[in-house]
Structures are given as structure tokens and as C-alpha cells.
């Protein structure tokens, strides 16, 4: 391994200095000790570890801080100055040459200095999960966009990531859906679904089911035929699935996410395992009979009347329900796919259900202790009235319609601001801007909270928005275009960082490493968004104050070109981890 790769293991200087101080603090403490190094507004970083340590040692905090600095020895290869301040904080200022050389190393790394996972493993990410013959709406938007970003980030640092799209393709509604398909005629029905009128199809089927007893009877009979594997029924069912997934793929293409047919793992895929789930639970002695159903009582769950709450494995009528297939999922993911970690990107209302599934899986011994099953919960999309987002007619908002509107709005913004652009360029770029804006507005706030959907805000070029970040990237591309310089031609050098904005920008770029890891550690894409916004802000400030092409000297010009290129690469990669494109002009 070259020293370059070795250094790149910790691109963020704050991480580097933290590791250096960790030993020093440990020496003072006489055991492992966190130096608590954080970014600081009074220096580049501050170590707060002395205050806590002072307590256990019974010494004045400032003395402890001094001892730690003494133990750290010579830090001059990375640090310009250290200072003990206030009650015992250690303020750290990096040497500018260290920042410059670290940036050069990071930019020579294939991952731009982002640390590789030291525990890379196989992770299943379960996301999107629309229902066959039902329209995709904003709830699917959140799951799809958040899940996709997590997949990209987890993959980036070296994990093996398996995408699973657990579509709703089984269950009692398929009786009425198949009968409605027959009524319409297969050709007509396929067309209706193929063009994306899933809502109309589903609603009509449900209307007939509720209004027409004969239809209801046929539907019920059809469910039995489906479950018993009747060939003709299965063929009709497959038509529904195929037409729906064809439509989903259109939305996924528009949304620009990674999901393909290879990732489809619908509920029906687990049918062969359901009987085994029951048998295994029975063998373990976990299965109990309750009100005619076969259930498991995981500890710690109670119902309204404070009685134990069961997870229903097999209904009174002998049918299975979603808890059973979710348990089959766990078995399949652990035993067939070798997953050690499972992420469920599912709305907050499913929290208790997933807890119960995990609990039963652990009771049954299907989920080893160290394996994690993580609910990546998220809140709702709200309208400006702070209520769940609805269309003007009061229906749920069709995802496809919403995405079309995003692209339309972006197209008219581009047409207005950049009228010289060709029609085909504009269409292409509007796609990146409109879709990017929707995705970013979904990703940029803490996922556990609800968020307010606002067209004007998300498409604005001001504030924490995708267009603002994309614009920073486009401006850099524009500089190189204007100068007629290939970006790759100026790589490899170390930048001069004499202006405070140059220095701040370089340090910010190096913190990409930590930003990606914060996103991964907390499964929170908004951490990376916040970073990219800071990066764009630091760049724009640099851009306003440090002329690149009209720099005072050629060496400064080249140095600034290097900074521009480093910024653009980091921005493009960061946006890519969020599933967002970075156009070269806009």
C-alpha cells in the first residue's frame, strides 16, 4: 500500500488530530479516553476531553489539558498552534501546509478521502415497496428517495448492498383486481394499467366489490383459486404484476433511482416459505392458539386493555398475513442472502409492527445477536396547511404527476434565466434540476420529522436547495469552459491557501469524509445535505472574493483552479450519493 492510500484513510483533519490526541489523553487518563474533538468557531477544532477527565482525576481541567498536550508531543506536522482556553478547552489551528497537502492526497484518492468501512458487510435495504395496481404517491417518494441515497452511500464505503423492493403483490385484494381485469378484458385492462391509470383501476374494482354481491362472491372465489395455484388465475395475476411493475419502472426512471426488476422481491416471493415459518415457530414452542388464530406473544407488547399483544402468524381462516411474510423475509435475508444488517425504509406508523417482527425473529433464533434490523423511519409529507399533502381534489398526490410538474417548473425557470440554451439541453437540464429539487427537499431535513412540501422553496436558487448546490457546480464548470482548460489537466498539485476563503474552502472539502460517515452512522441523508450546503456556501464566498481566471499570478490562478476542481468533484460525488445529478451548465 502506498503512503498516499494510507494517509487517505483519514481525510478529515479533525479526525486526524483526534486520533493523535486520543493517545495523549489515554496516557494522562491511564486508559482509553475520548479527547472529544469537535469543529470550533474559535479555531479549526477544539478538544473538550480535559473537562470530563479532570473530574475523574480530581485535577484542575486546565492542568489536565496541559498534561495532554505535553503527552501529545510534537504536533507541528499538522498543527500550527494549540491554546488552552476558558475552563479547559484545547483550541487547535491546523497548519495551512498540512491542509494543502491533505487536500492533495484526498483528491488523489478514488473515494476523495472518504474512509472505507472497516467492518464492510452485506446489507439489505428494503425500500420503495409500492402496491401492484395501486398508484405510487408521496409516501413512496420518501421511502424510495431515502432508501436509494442510503444504498449509494453504504455501497460507496465498501459494503455489499442488496436492494429489495418488497412490492405488495399478494393478498385478498387480488381477488377483486383479477375479476375486474376479466370484466374489462385483458387487453383493455393491460392498456389502462400500462398508461398509468392504476388509481382508476383499483378504485373501480373496489367500488364493484362493495356494491355488487355477485362480484364480491367471484372475487372471494378468485382469491382461493389464486392461493391454490390455479394456472389461469396465476397468469392473470402475473399480467397485473407485469403491467404495474412496467409502470413503476417508468416512475423509477423519471426519479432516477437504482431500482430495477432485479430488485423486485414482492410478498409473493415468500409464499413458499410461509408454511416453514409456522413449522419452525411451532417446533420452537413459540406458537400459541388465540381466538382461532395461531400467534406468537413477544414480550413487552400490550393492547388497549393492557393484555399481551400477539403477532398473528396464521389467521383464523387459515390464511397468512404480512407478519408471516415479514418473518420469512428475515429468514431469507439472513440465511440465503447472508445479510448481517437489514434496513427497513418504511414510514413511522410501522414502528410497532417491525419491533414485533424483530422480537419474534430473535426469539426464534433467526436473527443472531450481532445482526441488526433497523427501522429507517420517516415522517409525512405535508402541504402548506400542515396537513398530509393532498391534491386540490382532496386525493393523495400521484407521484408521477408531481415529478412531471417538477420538471415543467424547472424547465420554465431555465428558459427564463438562460434563454440562450438549446431546447434539447434545456429539457435535459430541467430533468436534473426538477428531479434533484424534489429529491433534495425530501432528503435535506431530519427524516423522522414531517416536512412541508413547497415548490417555490425547493426550486429556489437561494438557501439549502438542490439548485443552489447544482449552481455552484455549474459555475465551476463554466470557469473551465471559459478558460478552455481540461479539469483533469490541473490535478495533482497542492493549492496555495493564502486567502482565508481559500483555506476555509480547502478545509471544508476535506470534511467530506466525516459528512459521508455521519450520514451512514445515523442513516440520515440530511447530514450530507447540510455539508454540501456548507460546501456550496464556502465556495460561493471564495468565488465572489477570489478571482480565478484574473488572479494576481499564474501560480495563484492554477492553485484556484485546483480548488475549483476539488470543489466540483466533491459536490458532484456528494450529490451522486444522494441520487442527484450535477449539470455542467444551467
For RNA, the binding residues in 140-199 under the rule CB under 7 A are 168, 170-173
Give least dist CB 108 to RNA, A.
24
Q: Which of 279, 408, 486, 521 binds RNA (CB under 7 A)?
A: 521
Which residue lies nearer to RNA by CB, 369 or 385? 385
Question: Residues of 373-399 as b/e, b for ≥16 C-beta within 10 angstroms?
Answer: bebbbbebbbeeeeeebeeeeeeebbb
Which residue lies nearer to RNA by CB, 190 or 518? 518
Of 188-196, 227-235, 279-287, 438-446, the segment contacting RNA by CB under 7 A is: 438-446
- DSSP-assigned letter for residue 397: P
Of 466-495, binders to RNA (CB under 7 A) are 467-468, 471, 474-475, 478-479, 482
Query: Which phi and psi (to 5°) does residue 487 adopt?
Result: -60, -40
For residue 440, give the C-alpha cell: 433534495
Give least dist CB 201 to RNA, A.
17
Number of continuous H segments (helices) and E segments (strands) in the chain:
22, 13
Which residue lies nearer to RNA by CB, 108 or 499? 499
Distance (Å, whole) CA 110 – CA 8: 10
Q: Which of 322, 372, 425, 576 binds RNA (CB under 7 A)?
A: 322
Q: Which of 541, 558, 573, 576 binds RNA (CB under 7 A)?
A: 541
Of 212-251, binders to RNA (CB under 7 A) are none
Of 41-49, 70-78, 250-258, 333-341, the segment contacting RNA by CB under 7 A is: 41-49
Which residue lies nearer to RNA by CB, 36 or 105? 36
| Residue 452 engages RNA in binding (rule: CB under 7 A) | yes
| Residue 310 engages RNA in binding (rule: CB under 7 A) | yes
H or E element that contains 458: helix 455-458
Sheet holding 288-290, edge to edge: 288-290, 293-296, 311-314
Q: Cell 478571482, residue?
A: 547
CB 82 within 8 A of CB 75: yes
Show Cβ contacts of residue 482 under 8 Å, excluding neighbours closer than 6 positions: 549
Which residue lies nearer to RNA by CB, 13 or 168? 168
Q: Which of 359, 464, 559, 567 binds RNA (CB under 7 A)?
A: 464
Distance (Å, whole) CA 202 – CA 133: 6
Of 71-79, 199-207, 393-401, 465-473, the segment contacting RNA by CB under 7 A is: 465-473
Q: Which of 304, 336, 370, 392 binds RNA (CB under 7 A)?
A: 304
CB 69 within 8 A of CB 53: no
Distance (Å, whole) CA 173 – CA 404: 29
Q: Which of 218, 333, 527, 569 binds RNA (CB under 7 A)?
A: 527
CB 67 within 8 A of CB 51: no
Q: Which of 292, 338, 365, 492 binds RNA (CB under 7 A)?
A: 292
Q: How many residues does the chain have?
A: 586
Of 364-383, binders to RNA (CB under 7 A) are 379-380, 382
| Residue 344 engages RNA in binding (rule: CB under 7 A) | no
Of 79-138, binders to RNA (CB under 7 A) are 85-87, 89, 91, 131
| Residue 427 engages RNA in binding (rule: CB under 7 A) | no
Neighbours of 463 (CB within 10 A): 11
Question: Residues of 549-559 as b/e, b for ≥16 C-beta within 10 angstroms?
Answer: eeeeeeebbbb
Which residue lies nearer to RNA by CB, 23 or 383? 383
Number of residues that bind RNA (CB under 7 A): 103
Counting other chains too, the contacts that 423-429 makes at CB distance below 8 Å and 24 or more residues apart are: 425/585, 428/583, 429/583, 429/585, 429/586
| Residue 461 engages RNA in binding (rule: CB under 7 A) | yes
Amino acid at each position: 500500500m502506498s503512503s498516499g492510500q494510507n494517509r487517505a484513510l483519514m481525510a478529515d483533519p479533525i479526525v486526524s488530530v483526534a486520533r493523535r490526541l486520543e493517545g495523549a489523553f489515554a496516557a494522562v487518563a491511564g486508559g482509553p479516553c475520548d479527547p472529544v474533538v469537535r469543529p470550533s468557531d474559535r479555531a479549526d477544532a477544539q478538544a473538550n476531553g480535559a473537562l470530563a477527565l479532570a473530574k475523574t482525576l480530581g485535577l484542575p481541567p486546565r492542568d489536565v489539558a496541559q498534561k495532554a498536550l505535553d503527552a501529545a508531543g510534537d504536533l507541528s506536522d499538522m498543527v500550527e498552534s494549540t491554546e488552552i482556553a476558558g475552563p479547559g478547552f484545547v483550541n487547535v489551528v491546523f497548519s495551512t501546509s498540512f491542509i494543502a497537502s491533505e487536500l492533495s492526497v484526498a483528491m488523489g484518492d478514488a473515494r476523495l478521502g472518504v474512509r472505507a468501512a472497516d467492518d464492510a458487510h452485506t446489507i439489505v435495504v428494503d425500500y420503495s415497496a409500492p402496491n401492484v395496481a395501486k398508484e405510487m404517491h408521496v409516501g413512496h417518494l420518501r421511502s424510495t428517495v431515502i432508501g436509494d441515497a442510503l444504498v449509494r452511500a453504504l455501497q460507496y464505503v465498501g459494503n455489499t448492498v442488496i436492494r429489495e423492493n418488497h412490492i405488495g403483490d399478494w393478498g385478498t385484494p387480488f381477488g377483486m383486481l383479477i375479476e375486474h381485469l376479466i370484466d374489462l378484458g385483458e387487453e383493455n385492462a393491460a392498456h389502462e394499467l400500462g398508461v398509468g391509470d392504476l388509481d382508476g383501476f383499483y378504485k373501480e374494482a373496489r367500488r364493484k366489490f362493495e356494491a355488487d354481491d355477485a362480484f364480491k362472491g367471484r372475487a372471494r372465489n378468485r382469491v382461493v383459486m389464486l392461493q391454490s395455484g390455479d394456472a389461469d388465475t396465476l397468469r392473470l395475476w402475473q399480467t397485473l404484476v407485469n403491467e404495474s411493475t412496467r409502470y413503476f419502472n417508468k416512475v423509477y426512471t423519471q426519479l432516477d433511482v437504482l431500482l430495477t426488476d432485479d430488485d423486485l422481491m414482492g410478498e409473493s416471493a415468500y409464499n413458499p416459505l410461509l408454511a416453514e415459518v409456522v413449522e419452525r415457530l411451532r417446533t420452537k414452542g413459540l406458537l400459541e392458539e388465540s381466538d382461532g388464530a395461531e400467534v406468537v406473544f413477544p414480550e413487552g407488547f400490550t393492547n388497549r386493555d393492557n393484555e399481551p399483544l400477539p403477532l398473528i402468524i396464521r389467521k383464523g381462516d387459515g390464511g397468512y398475513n404480512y407478519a408471516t411474510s415479514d418473518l420469512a423475509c428475515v429468514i431469507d435475508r439472513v440465511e440465503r442472502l447472508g445479510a448481517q444488517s437489514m434496513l427497513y425504509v418504511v414510514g413511522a406508523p410501522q414502528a410497532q409492527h417491525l419491533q414485533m417482527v424483530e422480537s419474534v425473529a430473535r426469539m426464534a433464533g433467526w436473527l443472531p445477536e450481532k445482526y441488526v434490523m433497523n427501522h429507517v423511519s420517516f415522517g409525512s409529507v405535508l402541504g402548506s396547511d400542515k396537513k398530509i399533502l393532498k391534491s386540490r381534489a382532496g386525493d393523495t398526490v400521484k407521484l408521477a404527476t408531481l415529478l412531471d410538474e417538477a420538471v415543467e417548473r424547472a424547465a420554465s425557470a431555465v428558459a427564463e434565466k438562460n434563454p440562450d440554451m438549446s431546447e434539447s439541453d434545456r429539457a435535459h437540464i430541467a430533468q436534473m434540476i426538477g428531479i434533484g429539487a424534489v429529491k433534495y427537499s425530501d432528503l435535506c431535513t431530519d427524516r423522522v420529522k414531517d416536512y412541508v412540501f413547497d415548490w417555490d422553496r425547493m426550486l429556489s436558487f437561494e438557501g439549502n436547495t438542490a439548485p443552489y448546490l447544482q449552481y455552484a457546480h455549474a459555475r465551476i464548470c463554466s470557469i473551465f469552459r471559459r478558460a478552455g482548460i481540461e479539469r483533469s489537466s490541473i490535478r495533482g498539485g497542492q493549492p496555495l491557501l493564502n486567502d482565508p476563503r481559500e483555506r476555509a474552502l480547502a478545509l471544508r472539502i476535506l470534511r467530506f469524509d466525516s459528512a459521508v460517515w455521519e450520514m451512514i452512522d445515523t442513516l440520515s441523508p440530511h447530514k450530507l445535505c447540510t455539508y454540501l450546503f456548507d460546501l456550496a456556501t464556502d465556495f460561493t464566498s471564495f468565488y465572489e472574493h477570489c478571482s480565478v481566471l484574473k488572479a494576481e499570478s499564474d501560480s495563484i490562478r492554477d492553485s484556484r483552479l485546483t480548488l475549483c476542481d476539488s470543489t466540483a468533484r466533491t459536490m458532484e460525488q456528494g450529490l451522486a450519493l444522494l441520487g442527484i445529478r450535477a449539470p455542467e451548465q444551467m
